A and B are shown apart, each in its own frame.
Chain A
Amino acid sequence: MSYVWMGYAVTAVGLALYAVRTVRRGRQLARSFPPEEHGW
């Protein structure tokens, strides 16, 4: 069962780190332009 927990933990941490990195990067860049110019 320890391998199962390891697999779930690796997936959760990997996805969470990438998601946080992407959202933070987007926030940093988006603040350089007014929201009405984002196009979404």
Chain B
Amino acid sequence: MTTTTAPATVGTPPAGPAAPTARSSTGDRTTRLLGVAALALLAATAWLGLVVSPPDVTQGQLVRLIYVHPALATCCYLAFGLCALASAAWLWPTTRARRWDALAGAAGEVGVVLCGLTLATGSIWGRGSWGVWWTWDARLTLTALLFAVFVGYLGLRRTGGTSEARARRAAVAALLGAAVVPLDHEATNWWRTLHQGNTLLTSSPHIHGWQLLTMALSFVAFVVTGAWLLVHRYRVELLEDRYETDGLRAALAARRAEGSAR
């Protein structure tokens, strides 16, 4: 440990050996490769989706949103699932470690961003397809509920108390919140909804050719992008935790020094 000064505000570099360096970041060679791959895959998806793939017989040009919206939704499910798994690992006594809580927090936040974009793109699709920005359909309502639950989860992570109490509260909330994921996914099968059912996960997929290829590529592109975001956010979470710990330790040392000087 080389930092000795408690940072007054997050992001202010402490004095001494821990001086700022131009190379400091949450990235490394692997994340740079992942980032380049994500950008290339997203660009290829956009090009195939907007230029190469043909319009649909029934949906017309709006089908091009299918190369964005379902992939975003799937990635948000994956992120919330990972958040729940990491939370379970933190709650389990034999696997409890700070890194699981950090991973859960990072996955929860990335999931909220992806869920927000899922709702936004779905709303745009609904306006073009159904003529309304929003309707209280089972799938839409459950996705909105999922978004609200995990926004609450992120809020819970910022509440007071010891870091352990905070992590426990958040982990329980993540497990409860993740229970909405299968409900949301199966909503189109269990209830009569306006939202269309599964496009790919059926015995006979509803799309073929360029449309199928573009949609498959979009899933890969958004998974790689989500992974890149997750790695960076996870490292930010670890750094924030360390910053908080170092700041608290330095504040306690300063208080003790103040007490002994009297």
A residues with a Cβ closer than 8 A to B are 1, 3-4, 6-8, 10-11, 14-15, 18-19, 22-23, 25-35, 37-40
B132 within 8 A of A: no
A7–B23 touching, CB < 8 Å: no
Residue contact B65 to A26, C-beta cutoff 8 Å: no
Q: Which residues of B contact A (CB under 8 A)?
A: 2-3, 7, 10-14, 17-18, 20-21, 23-28, 46, 49-50, 61-62, 64-65, 68-69, 72, 113, 116-117, 120-121, 124-125, 127-128, 225, 228-229, 232-233, 235-236, 238-240, 242-243
CB neighbours (8 Å) of A25 from chain B are: 11, 236
Complex contact B50–A22 (CB within 8 A): no
CA distance in complex: A4, B68 (Å): 10
| Contact between chains at B13 and A31 (CB < 8 Å) | yes
Interface pair A32/B18, CB less than 8 Å apart: yes
User: Hey, which chain B residues are within 8 Å of A22, CB to CB?
Assistant: 26, 229, 232-233, 236
B62 touches A4 (CB 8 A): yes
Could you list 27 examples of A-B contacts with CB < 8 Å? A3-B62, A3-B124, A4-B50, A4-B65, A4-B128, A6-B124, A8-B49, A11-B120, A22-B232, A25-B236, A26-B25, A26-B26, A26-B235, A27-B26, A29-B10, A30-B26, A31-B20, A32-B13, A32-B14, A32-B243, A34-B18, A34-B21, A35-B24, A38-B235, A40-B26, A40-B28, A40-B235
Chain B residues with Cβ under 8 A from A33's Cβ?
3, 18, 24, 239, 242
